[in-house]
Amino acid sequence: MTDKTNTMWGGRFAAGPDAIMEAINASIGFDKRLAAQDIAGSRAHAAMLAAQGILTDSDADAIREGLLTVLSEIETGTFAFSTALEDIHMNVEARLKEIVGEPAGRLHTARSRNDQVATDFRLWVRDQADVAEAGLTALMQALLAQAEAGADWVMPGFTHLQTAQPVTWGHHMMAYVEMFARDRGRFRDARARMNESPLGAAALAGTSFPIDRDATAAALGFDRPMANSLDAVSDRDFALEFLSAATISAMHLSRLAEELVIWSSAQFRFVTLSDRFSTGSSIMPQKKNPDAAELVRAKIGRILGANVGLLTVMKGLPLAYSKDMQEDKEQVFDAADNFMLALAAMTGMVGDMTANRDALKAAAASGFSTATDLADWLVRELNLPFRDAHHVTGTLVAMAEDKGCDLPDLSLADMQSVHDGITNAVFDVLGVENSVQSRTSYGGTAPEQVHAQIARWREDLG
């Protein structure tokens, strides 16, 4: 243990912790990622102390210049981080003292590491919410481009992964635009709620110094200071809300990734993924593996795990700060890194992939996908109760299965053998193109509806 460390702690800990305590207590291995936020918070705090007459202008100037030097050293990789100094706050302060001397010791006036770390972490998570929003916007734009290119391309819609009704490629792409738009909204909402400053809450009770918390909040881009000092240092719900939004969005990414894995298979051939997001096999030369999609599909495990992990850390903590909360950062850092990576990979895959229009249409026409159109026609034209129409249609599907054909391939005589009221007009609704054209209800799959939604989102995304 160095004298410098003992001085930072004070006489109470003159002997210093042993190696095990140092290892479990130190967080510099991961919280050095908060360096930029820590220095920004310290600069705002020093400026406020000077404005309030708590620091002299000369001390504040020295601290400001010294902090810029520390930041430059960190950014250029020349800063020597010390595990003995525990965390990013003590590492920065110790180096600041080496640079500017005695004024560095005045920087910590009217604050604690408790409000300092809460401020740093909140700033970092806020930055990540902004990055997530930008990433989701880019993914939505890629999906929108796919939807626009194939707004009227017919493909099968599925339930239970069984052919259900024909839809359009554009409609399917726009479903994910809507999902990711809600994800973007969740990050925006989380950011708005987290945008309050803990700085000035000190250890837990505030401070007797005449500080200006509104000034530091404004300097750091917060809307206001947090209204309760206990709450300010003791909760991490802002990080949990970020993780919750990331978990939901990662689930949506995983669903889309699963579809890309299925669609790019030899059995479907709905899409071709670019070589940039595929790999080959070490033994089977014919293989083109959708590895990027598979990895995106898996990322939710880490992100959900981080969410559960932090909830578990926080669930039994009394107010205010406990050292347990040092366990809040690593899992958030990991989840954010992996979410942003998955988001970027999915945006690349969607932007590069090519949809096979012919394969989509052929699949749409199989599996009795227009059975519901037939039932609707029986209700509309023959005034049958829907349950009766459902029974008639089911009988005709069974007949087509026996004959090895699809519904449009049955003869009129075949159909009339089940219900004599059926006329040739029924064949107008049995084609997949006619089916999707007819689904004109708001939010439906008809191309006119798809184009309307594309236009709405084009205006929104700019």
Residue among 58, 72, 274, 281 flagged as catalytic: 281
Asked if 457 and 451 touch (Cβ cutoff 8 Å), the reply is no
Interatomic CA distance for residues 420 and 408, integer angstroms = 17
Determine the distance from the C-alpha atom of residue 399 to the mean position of all C-alpha atoms in its chain, rounded to a whole number.
48
DSSP H stretches of helix in 201-281: 213-219, 229-234, 237-263
Asked if 451 and 151 touch (Cβ cutoff 8 Å), the reply is yes
Angstrom CA distances, 180 to 70, 190, 352, stand at 39, 15, 19
Asked if 94 and 149 touch (Cβ cutoff 8 Å), the reply is no
Asked if 243 and 310 touch (Cβ cutoff 8 Å), the reply is yes
Interatomic CA distance for residues 65 and 289, integer angstroms = 53
Interatomic CA distance for residues 250 and 252, integer angstroms = 5
Interatomic CA distance for residues 224 and 159, integer angstroms = 48
Q: Does residue 160 carry a catalytic annotation?
A: yes
Cα torsion 281, 287, 290, 291 to 10°: value is 0
Q: Does residue 281 carry a catalytic annotation?
A: yes
Interatomic CA distance for residues 212 and 44, integer angstroms = 11
Interatomic CA distance for residues 422 and 374, integer angstroms = 10
Structure tokens that stand for 230 in this block: 């206990």
Residue 281 exposure: Cα atoms within 13 Å on the Cβ side: 7
Which amino acid would we find at residue 293? A
Q: Is the peptide bond before 320 cis (omega within 30 degrees of 0)?
A: yes
Interior CA angle at 450 toward 446 and 455, to 5°? Answer: 150
Structure tokens that stand for 261 in this block: 């894995």
Cite the active site residues. Answer: 160, 281
